[in-house]
């Protein structure tokens, strides 16, 4: 009899806990949608670059009303400033470095996570060539500016040479073509689909307005991401946020 009571109590306890977890999962995602960023990294261009390494890139959101930003993803080298012997490489991602390192803007607090907003930066190993997919959960129907900045080191061309013999100038950081930046406005309504376009190239300067410039002498760099799209989908309930 005691065993049967124990089993019954255990089952009831399990059902209560399970129900509470389900309610918790749905409450965390109620009224939210995911902005899904899907990128395809051009393997041929990576192999043809001087280092044969995948590009460095960053993705971030900006609130158009407050100009506050939130980093969605940034490759590890840029986030940790690990440049294999160099203290810094400012030309890698000039716009993202400016927004985050100069602290002109405060980071947007993550609605699904606690902690210091400025510590909420999603980093990861540099993705290999092929598809890369990242999602960020935001309030349903909210408006955002989405930025993507990318740089493929060592993708030299006729204008951005490893060594210019006429001017006797070497590319100090072995950057090759400058970083390129995408910018698009997006409303987080289910079913929204957008193909971002390149806004320009980025160079180191004192203000964000001067950092972003019209493309000049760019060739292969404009095809580092040979496929890129944004899709807004309903956020799936989950107990643990990754």
Reading the chain (242 residues) residue by residue, the pLDDT tens digits are 566 776 666 677 676 666 555 454 445 556 899 999 999 999 999 999 999 999 999 999 999 999 999 999 999 888 777 676 565 788 899 999 998 875 444 444 443 344 333 334 566 677 889 999 999 999 999 999 999 999 999 999 999 998 887 767 888 888 999 999 999 999 999 999 999 999 999 999 878 788 999 999 999 999 999 999 999 998 876 545 54
DSSP letter for each residue of 32-65 = EEEEEEEEEE-HHHHHHSSS--PPEEEEEEE-TT
Is this model's pTM higher than 0.85 or not?
no
Contact present, 229 and 38 (Cβ < 8 Å): yes
Distance CA 87, CA 138 (A): 35
Place of tokens 């089993």: 7
Three-class secondary structure of residue 100 per DSSP: helix
Contact present, 197 and 184 (Cβ < 8 Å): yes
């Amino acid at each position: 009899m005691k065993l049967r009571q124990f089993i019954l109590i255990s089952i009831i306890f399990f059902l209560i806990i399970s129900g509470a977890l389900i309610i918790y999962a749905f409450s965390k995602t109620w009224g939210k949608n995911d902005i899904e960023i899907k990128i395809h990294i051009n393997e041929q261009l990576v192999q043809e670059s001087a280092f044969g390494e995948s590009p460095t890139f960053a993705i971030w959101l900006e609130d158009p009303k407050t100009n506050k930003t939130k980093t969605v993803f940034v490759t590890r080298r840029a986030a940790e400033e690990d440049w294999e012997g160099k203290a810094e490489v400012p030309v890698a991602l000039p716009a993202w470095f400016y927004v985050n390192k100069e602290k002109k803007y405060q980071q947007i607090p993550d609605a699904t996570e606690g902690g210091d907003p400025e510590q909420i930066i999603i980093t990861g190993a540099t993705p290999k060539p092929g598809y890369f997919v990242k999602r960020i959960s935001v309030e349903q129907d909210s408006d955002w500016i989405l930025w993507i900045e990318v740089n493929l080191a060592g993708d030299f061309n006729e204008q951005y040479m490893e060594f210019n013999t006429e001017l006797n100038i070497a590319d100090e950081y072995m950057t090759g073509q400058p970083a390129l930046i995408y910018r698009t406005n997006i409303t987080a309504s289910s079913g929204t689909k957008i193909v971002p376009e390149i806004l320009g190239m980025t160079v180191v300067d004192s203000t964000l307005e001067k950092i972003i410039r019209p493309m000049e002498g760019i060739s292969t760099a404009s095809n580092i991401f040979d496929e890129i799209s944004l899709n807004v989908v309903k956020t799936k309930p989950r107990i643990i946020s990754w």
